[in-house]
């Protein structure tokens, strides 16, 4: 059996937080999203999830649906990113955590313990934290909405200042946004 080889396109999109690296597959599904200064982290996660030689990353344009949703999110339409179709590698447990992250409403935060309880694994807050840290799709799979049990801002792959900005952006605009259907991580 021949191993699966994934073809991904990477685009660079400007945002208030710096240039975003947007990786999509041939069908337009978002596979990775990270900040330009965390490109090494993004490439490491892609290798972990798809194998050292399991994917090809070439320059290309992000699908309009993805680019438009990100632009709308940063313009204040917080629920626009919920329509973005995401497909990730990762273990079944990680994908379960990432799906649960997508169910945390904008403007709301959860602790690692609350997230562990939400997926039916109340004693797995550390494992949830590790899965959260391995999330290859920042913002759209909103790992920034997870904070410490004491309310402190804990680690974020894009840096604490970006996490703070995202949480403030969402809390300021939360009441003005209208929800649309949320999608699971496949």
The residue from 143, 146, 166, 185 that is catalytic is 143
Report DSSP letters for the chain, one per residue. -PPP-EEEEEEEE--TTSPEEEEEETTS-EEEEEEGGGHHHHHHHHHHHH-TTSEEEEE-PPPHHHHHHHHHHHHT-GGGGGGS-B---S-HHHHHHHHHHHTSPTT--EEHHHHHHHTT-TT-HHHHHHHHHT-SBTTTS-GGGEE-TTS-----TT-HHHHHHHHHHHHHHGGG----------
Instruction: Take residue 58 and report the two structure tokens written for it.
Output: 């070439």
Q: Which two tokens stand for residue 42?
A: 């993004």
The 10 Å Cβ neighbour count of residue 175 is 7
Catalytic residue list contains 24: no
State phi, psi for 161 to the nearest 5 degrees: -65, -40
Write down the residue that tokens 């969402």 correspond to. 170
Question: Active-site positions?
Answer: 143
């Amino acid at each position: 059996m021949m191993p699966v080889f994934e073809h991904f396109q990477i685009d660079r999109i400007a945002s208030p937080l710096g240039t975003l690296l947007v990786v999509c597959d041939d069908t337009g599904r978002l596979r990775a999203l990270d900040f330009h200064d965390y490109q090494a982290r993004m490439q490491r996660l892609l290798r972990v999830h798809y194998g050292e030689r399991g994917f090809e990353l070439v320059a290309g344009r992000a699908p309009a649906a993805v680019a438009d949703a990100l632009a709308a999110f940063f313009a204040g339409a917080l629920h626009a990113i919920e329509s973005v179709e995401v497909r990730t590698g990762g273990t079944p447990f990680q994908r379960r955590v990432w799906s649960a992250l997508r169910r945390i409403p904008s403007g709301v935060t959860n602790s690692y313990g609350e997230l562990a309880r939400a997926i039916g694994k109340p004693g797995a807050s550390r494992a949830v934290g590790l899965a959260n840290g391995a999330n290859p799709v920042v913002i759209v799979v909103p790992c920034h909405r997870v904070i410490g049990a004491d309310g402190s801002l804990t680690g974020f792959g894009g840096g604490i200042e970006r996490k703070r900005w995202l949480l403030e952006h969402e809390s300021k605009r939360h009441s003005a946004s209208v929800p649309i259907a949320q999608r699971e991580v496949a």
